Amino acid sequence: MATVANDILIAYPPVGDHRLRRIVALPEHVRVTVGLDSSEALDALSGAASRAGRTIGVYVEMDVGMHRVGLPDVDDIVELARRASDAPGVHYRGVMFYPGHIREHVSQQTPALARLRADLRERIDALAAARLAPQVVSGGSTPTAFASHSVDSMTEMRPGTYIFSDRTTAEIGAARMEDCAFTVLATVVSTAVPGQAVVDAGSKALGREPLRGAAGEGFGVLLTAHDVTVHAMSEEHGLLRLPGNGGWRPRVGDTVRIIPNHVCYSVNLHPVLWAVSDSTIVDRWEVAGRP
C-alpha cells in the first residue's frame, strides 16, 4: 500500500514485534495511523516508534455494539486516549469504531443508527470534557455507507466490501445485484444428477460464508440468473440447483459467472483478478495482500 498511498490506516491491533517492525519500517513519507484498544499495544507501539525515531498516529478503538475489539467503557476510552496523547513516539489522532453489528436491511437501520449516534455522542463529549476531543472519528461499513451522513460525529468512513459488492450486500439493500463487480468464472463439469449442475468452483473458490443479516440459502448466485444458487459445495465442486419449469438448463462445458455471498473471502482465495470490460480482459490485478 505504501507504494500507492501516502496515508495509511491499519485498522487492527498492532500486537507483536513482527507487526511493529513492519509499521515503523514504512517509508517516512507515509502518514501511518494505527487503531488499538489496550495499553499493552500502545506502550509497545510507543517504544518501537521512539526507537525508530518515528511518530505513528493512534486511534483509540471503541466498541459500539459489535463486541469484537474496542473499549466499551467511556472511562477506559478516555484513559487510553490520555495515555496516547502523553506517550512518546505516538500522536493521538482520534477514535475509531466498526459498526459491523448493523446488518439489517438498509430500510430498517434507523433505530440502530440512532443508537450509534447517541453512543458516539456520549463518548466524544466525555473525551472533549477531558480535553481530548478527537480530531478524527473513523467508522463506517458497507451496510451503513449510504447512511453515514446520519452519524453526525463521524469524520471518516471505511467501507471495504463496497469496492466490489456481493450477494449479501445486495440482499440487505446496500447495493443492487447489477452493482456486483466481482464474479468467479466457473465451468459446468457435470449434469449427471437430475435437477442440478455441478461447477468447478467450490469452497476453495467461493468461500463458505453464509448470507449474513439477510434471508436466503446457498453460497452464491449466478450473475445472469439470480434464482440459481450454489446450494451446496465441497472443496472443488459447487452444486447449482436448477430452476423448475423449463428454466436454465446448462450443458457440460458451459461457463457461468457466480456472485459469491461475501466477496472479501473469495478475493482472498485467488492470486489474480482479471479486469473485464464488455467481455474483454483489460487488466490483470495481482492480489498482493493475501495473508
- Write down the least CB distance from residue 88 to ligand PLP, Å: 26
- Closest CB to ligand PLP among residues 99, 250: 99
- Total chain residues near ligand PLP (CB under 6 A): 10
Applying CB under 6 A, among 86, 122, 135, 160 the residue interacting with ligand PLP is 160
Q: How far apart are CA 89 and CA 288, in angstroms?
A: 29
162 binds ligand PLP per the rule CB under 6 A: yes
Contact letters for ligand PLP, residues 101-140 (x by CB under 6 A)? ----------------------------------------
* DSSP string of 69-123, one letter each residue: SSB--HHHHHHHHHHHHHSTTEEEEEEE---TT--S-GGG-HHHHHHHHHHHHHH
Which residue carries 448493523 as its cell?
Answer: 102
Beta bridge partners of 59: 35, 94
- Write down the least CB distance from residue 232 to ligand PLP, Å: 25
Give the residue among 205, 198, 208, 203 at the shortest CA–CA distance from 182: 205
- Write down the least CB distance from residue 143 to ligand PLP, Å: 6
- Write down the least CB distance from residue 172 to ligand PLP, Å: 10
At residue 197, what are phi and psi to the nearest 5 degrees? -125, 145
- Closest CB to ligand PLP among residues 143, 260: 143
- Write down the least CB distance from residue 224 to ligand PLP, Å: 25
- From residue 81, alpha-carbon distances to 51, 74, 98, 100, 240 in Å are 22, 11, 18, 23, 52
Q: Which residues contact 268 (CB under 8 A, 6 or more apart)?
A: 207, 287, 290, 291
- Closest CB to ligand PLP among residues 111, 160: 160
CA dihedral 17, 18, 24, 28 (to 10 degrees): 170
Q: How far apart are CA 233 and CA 266, in angstroms?
A: 14
- Write down the least CB distance from residue 164 to ligand PLP, Å: 10
- Closest CB to ligand PLP among residues 89, 140: 140
Applying CB under 6 A, among 47, 159, 173, 213 the residue interacting with ligand PLP is 159
Contact set with ligand PLP (CB under 6 A) = 11, 98, 141-143, 158-162
